[in-house]
Amino acid sequence: MIAQQPSPVDGRSARRVDTRAAILAAATRLFAANGISATSLDDVAAAAGIAKGSIFYNFGSKHGLVSELIDDYANRLENALNEATVGLTGSAALRAVVATLLRSLEEHTDAARVLLSEMFRTDRTWLAGIERWRQVGLRTMLDAMLDADPEADRASTSLRAAAMIGATLVAGLNWLVFNPELDYERVLDAVEQTLGLGEPGDR
């Protein structure tokens, strides 16, 4: 049997996927290092090794590029949280959320730095995307806490969930920026203790 050759359309589609990925990777690195406002599309194009027009072709604008970056990270985190917490309840689910958030920071540090730096910039047109990313972790944490205590006041529990998410994110970024020599398990252990989710070496 003669092997079927990929069509020209398939080849173009594959190249476009590769180009989009290269642009997103370059933009994420630059946005994390220099900030979104200080990074031009010329900078991104040079770092990605492509023509500037490719950015407009694939994303439409700088806004489109930033929005895609945010949506991509939010989707990754949502999928990871759903997978990590399936079948878990109570403290086990809470610990899975914390562990997944820390692992996400470790694997996607630049993207996390971009989103965290933009979280309180209310003038941004991509704020809705930032809020979605924040809500992904918050919703999962809140659901786990209400599952553990169905009679709990939702408003108060929501604040506690936000505090736990915030503490995990700040501890994670502090780890990766200032103490990258620490291993993941040690950091997770420290965060779990701080949040009252376990004792030293409890896992």
Alpha carbons 44 and 41: distance in angstroms, whole number: 5
Please state the domain count of the chain.
Answer: 2
Confidence of residue 104 (pLDDT cuts 50, 70, 90): very high
In a domain, residue 70? The reply is yes
Confidence of residue 121 (pLDDT cuts 50, 70, 90): confident
| Strand (E) or helix (H) holding 92 | helix 90-107
Helix (H, G, I), strand (E, B) or coil at 84: helix
Alpha carbons 25 and 106: distance in angstroms, whole number: 16
In a domain, residue 2? The reply is no
Q: Please tell me the pTM assigned to this model.
A: 0.84
pLDDT, position 199: 59
Is residue 29 predicted with pLDDT exceeding 70?
yes
Alpha carbons 119 and 142: distance in angstroms, whole number: 20
What residue type is 90 in one-letter code?
Answer: G
Confidence of residue 6 (pLDDT cuts 50, 70, 90): low
Is residue 21 predicted with pLDDT exceeding 50?
yes
Is residue 202 predicted with pLDDT exceeding 90?
no
pLDDT, position 123: 80
Closest by Cα among 61, 55, 99 to 80: 99
Q: Same domain, yes or no, for 150 and 107?
A: yes
pLDDT, position 126: 82
Look at the block and give the residue holding tokens 């003038």: 123
Strand spans (E) along the chain? none
- In this structure, the number of other CB atoms found within 10 A of the CB of residue 169 comes to 20
Could you list the residue range(s) of the whole structural domain that residue 193 is in?
61-203
pLDDT, position 23: 97
Q: Percent helix, strand and coil across the chain, each rounded to 5?
A: 75, 0, 25
pLDDT, position 181: 95
Q: Same domain, yes or no, for 78 and 134?
A: yes
Total residues belonging to the chain: 203
Q: Same domain, yes or no, for 40 and 81?
A: no
Can you give the CATH number for the domain in which 43 is found? Answer: 1.10.10.60
Q: Same domain, yes or no, for 45 and 145?
A: no
Can you give the CATH number for the domain in which 76 is found? Answer: 1.10.357
Backbone phi and psi for residue 193, each to the nearest 5 degrees, phi listed first = -60, -45
pLDDT, position 1: 44
> What is the per-residue pLDDT across 55-82, written as a single tens digit (0 to 9) for each?
999 999 999 999 999 999 999 999 999 9
In a domain, residue 1? The reply is no
Q: Which DSSP category does 61 fall into?
A: S
